[in-house]
Amino acid sequence: MIRKLRKEEFTQAAELSLEVFSQCGAEDFNTEGLETFKSFVYSNELMNELTIYGAFDKETLIGALGTKREGTHISLFFIRPEYHRKGIGRKLFDFALCDNPVREMTVNSSSYAVEFYQSLGFRQVCEQQETNGLKYTPMKRIS
């Protein structure tokens, strides 16, 4: 099941995001980067700027996608590794796009996820960047 999360569920999305980020994106951050990421996901102010969608296996949150700027930027997109390559990420993305259709969308992708974002129609807009200990690849999708 996929649905928009309620504000009181955002902590679950933050915990899932940190867990998957730590497991799958380790090559893209150093100690400073990990702290930068934690300060984002555990900031109520920053998280409350997001619209967050969740994918569930029964009652368990297995994926989260958070957008900001009225759906034009993906800030969080994490699926538990044991659910990778099962179509859940695409379904979550399609649900968010259907809920809030936008012509253009951007994301700062981890190196782990570049290929996945390309499968969703995103294209790399410049070389890999690094900010506050986090490496990422800026990407854009135009529909």
CB 51 within 8 A of CB 67: yes
**31-41 and 10-24 helices cross at what angle (nearest 10)?**
160
Q: What is the pLDDT of residues 110-141, one digit of tens each?
A: 999 999 999 999 999 999 999 999 999 999 99
Q: What is the pLDDT of residues 51-89, one digit of tens each?
A: 999 999 999 999 999 999 999 999 999 999 999 999 999
What percentage of the chain carries pLDDT values higher than 70? 100
Q: What is the pLDDT of residues 9-18, one digit of tens each?
A: 999 999 999 9
With a CB cutoff of 8 Å and minimum separation 6, the contacts of 97 are 71, 105
**Hey, how many other C-beta atoms are within 10 angstroms of the C-beta on 74?**
25
